[in-house]
Chains A and B, each alone.
Chain A
Amino acid sequence: MSGDPILRLENIVKSFGGLTVLRDISLDIADGESLTIVGPSGSGKTTLIRLLVGMDEPTSGAIWLRDRRIERVPANKRPTCMVFQSLALFPHRSVGQNIEFPLKIRGVAAAERKKRALQLMELLRLREDYYGKSVVQISGGERQRVALARALAFDPEILFFDEPLSALDYRLRKTLEKELKDLHARTGKTFVYITHSLEEAMVMSDRIAIMRAGRFEQIAVADEIYARPRSRFVAEFMGEVNLFDITATVEGRLEGEGIEINLPAGSSPATAVLAPGEKVTLMVRPEFVHFLENGHVSDFHLRGTVRAEYLLGSRMHYEVERRDGSFVTVEKLREDRFKGKPGDEVVLGWDVEHCHIIAEGRP
């Protein structure tokens, strides 16, 4: 991730009639990077990718591909290419003809086209005898590979993906996610991936851009987004999380409703950055919350009643109800599971180094 960006978005706005779908989007995408844009449905990510590939034009703002301004250039004149959510294979053409389509458009000779198609089929682990098969006859995963091979045959500068795995079953999706990541490493192309699934985003990419209501909420590497989300929205979007309203006192202590805080004034690095009286959100992921046994002390304590226990494969989730009726989620490894049973009164605890403070009010 060095050098000039391959794609630069500057203050992109897109409105449909009175409805503004994208509000002032700016983003740099580095050459060879794998970036995932993730957001719930309605966040504007599909609109954004349509602008990026040239199927639509922004209301205002600029898109630069290296040093060429392209926001008004139609899709067929851009050196970029997209793998559609529906895959958009040509149903009247064979596997080979689908893959060769961009080469045919460019006027590449038939023998050369076939050679390239077979190369790409090998790269994507499609059997050679599939070349003449109709795309209607092959399975979902194979169709996925054909769509990918067709996009690679185009040899795009940037390859966009619009949730291409969303229609597949879980196991196939997991396999293809890894294959795509591997393909990114092998081809060295710039991948921009759009999805609503955070899991997919984390597996797939170097960087994640989280979208909400037509804006980027946070753009960072997956680990950073998971551990240090900038807003409650991002924190909640990145999986199970416990959020508490916290206030900093004038003496430099933290106070929270129903939470016992065993930190001396001014001792925590978190409190050091807070202005006295500032209201913030304290985030702690479920895997860092423990059931405290007698005698053990943590920086934060909280009382509640175990209400439910869920087995999630190798991990367990517990829902603990607090006095005020809100819930805290605790995660344990299966072999380290909670000894009690639902209905038990428990004390939960966690330490300050596993906390993250979200101060959304700040600019």
Chain B
Amino acid sequence: MKRLDGKLGALCALPLGLLLAASFLAPLVVIAGFSIMPQRVFDLAHIPDFSAYAVFFRQGYYKSLLWSLGMAFMATTILFILCWPLAYGMAKVFGRFTLFLTIAVAVTLFVSENIRLFGWVVTLMKGGLFDGYLKELTGLRLEGALYNVPITVFGLVYVYFPFMLFPLTQGIAMVPDDARQAAADLGASRWRILWEIDLPLAAPGIMVGSLLCFVLAAGALAESKLLGGQSVIVIASEVETAFSYGQNWPLGSALAMSLILVIGALAITTIARIDLDAIMGRKR
């Protein structure tokens, strides 16, 4: 019976598996192939050539990768701290108000990310909405709000907010109330309960939310372009330039591969540690 279940499961997973292989895995393999292609050859049948990876280190492209990862890390950390209290409220306190908040946050996803970011540009730019009011009311001017690293991180935090909030809410909802009450009854303070009970038991939600935000933010392009004004060049931007303007496909592929390797390693180690079934509410 168990073997039959296994066979049926494999059979059911087959169509989606094929689709994923064709649309997700195949492009990755092609990119990996391109990355070890000699320059100006444009042919996948040749001796592997790792010069594009050498360029990645020699010409300082690794700095872009570090900026991307660094800003993604900062955005993820800020998001976690920002979302925890709200997620806690949504999971345990608010009751019906949670539904309202969920809809309110989810609705922002209906508007294109670029348009929302432009909204911030118009609000924060010199002579923009905020600056205008400030000048009118106090006579002060707002200098340099845009085009720097902090505003880029702000953009990342703003755009990826739902991707932290919802998994975190799920994670906190998994913490049994009686375990918290028992910990308090056994003498634990609020902070001890947070450390000993809440954080470990909500860990799956924390990891999923952090992974989502980190991966998305590390590959993000629009925030640094629109809000950051290219004050630092992120890796996604380098990839785009290499493929389009630079017409250097091996370099673009090598850059993409280095990002994929870092993120892939991170994602696999994280996902191996958590039980997705538990988050989805399925019994083991």
Contact = CB atoms under 8 A, between A and B. Distances in A.
B176 to A, nearest CB: 7
B201 A105 contact: no
A81 B186 contact: yes
Interface string A88-118: 1111100000000110011000000000000
Contact of B201 (A91, A106, A150): A91
A302 B182 CA distance: 55
Given A76-B189, A105-B192, A88 B181 contact: yes
B179 interface: yes
A88 B178 contact: yes
B186 A150 contact: yes
B179 A88 contact: yes
Contacts of A101: 183, 186, 188, 196
A54 B196 CA distance: 20
A82 interface: yes
B200 interface: yes
Interface in B159-182: 176, 178-179, 181-182
Interface in B191-228: 192, 196-197, 200-201
Contact of A84 (B181, B187, B196, B201): B181
Contacts of B179: 88-91
Interface string A66-93: 0000000011110001101010111110
B181 A102 contact: no
A232 B168 CA distance: 53
B215 to A, nearest CB: 26
A250 interface: no
B184 A74 contact: yes
A154 interface: yes
Contact of B186 (A91, A92, A154): A154
A91 B203 CA distance: 13
A90 B181 CA distance: 11
Contacts of B143: none
A77 B176 CA distance: 21
B207 to A, nearest CB: 14
A101 B200 CA distance: 14
A102 B184 contact: no
A74 B188 CA distance: 11
B187 A76 contact: yes
A90 B178 contact: no
A53 interface: yes
A55 interface: yes
- The interface residues of chain B, by DSSP majority, are classed as helix
B184 A75 contact: yes
B278 to A, nearest CB: 10
B196 to A, nearest CB: 8
Contact of B197 (A53, A76, A90, A106): A90
B136 interface: no
Nearest to A79: B187
Contacts of B186: 76, 81, 101-102, 105, 150-151, 154
B188 A55 contact: no
Interface string A10-53: 00000000000000000000000000000000000000000001
A84 B189 contact: no
B187 A106 contact: yes
Contact of B185 (A82, A86, A89, A106): A82
Contacts of A105: 186-188, 192
Contacts of B182: 82, 84, 88-90
A54 B188 CA distance: 13
A53 to B, nearest CB: 6
Contacts of A76: 184-189
A105 B189 CA distance: 9
Nearest to B189: A76
Contacts of A89: 179, 182
B197 A75 contact: no
Nearest to A160: B185
Contacts of A106: 187
Contacts of B196: 90, 101
A102 B176 contact: no
A326 B111 CA distance: 73
Contacts of A150: 186
Interface string A213-233: 000000000000000000000
Contact of B187 (A55, A91, A102): A102
Nearest to B284: A136
Interface of B: 176, 178-179, 181-189, 192, 196-197, 200-201
Which 7 interchain pairs have the tightest Cβ spacing?
A88-B182, A88-B178, A102-B186, A76-B184, A75-B185, A105-B187, A75-B184
Given A89-B182, A101-B183, 8 more contacts: A55-B184, A75-B185, A76-B185, A81-B185, A84-B182, A88-B178, A88-B179, A91-B179
26 contacts: A75-B185, A76-B184, A76-B187, A77-B187, A81-B186, A82-B182, A82-B185, A84-B182, A86-B176, A88-B176, A88-B178, A88-B182, A89-B179, A90-B196, A90-B197, A92-B200, A92-B201, A101-B183, A101-B188, A101-B196, A102-B187, A105-B186, A105-B187, A105-B192, A150-B186, A151-B186
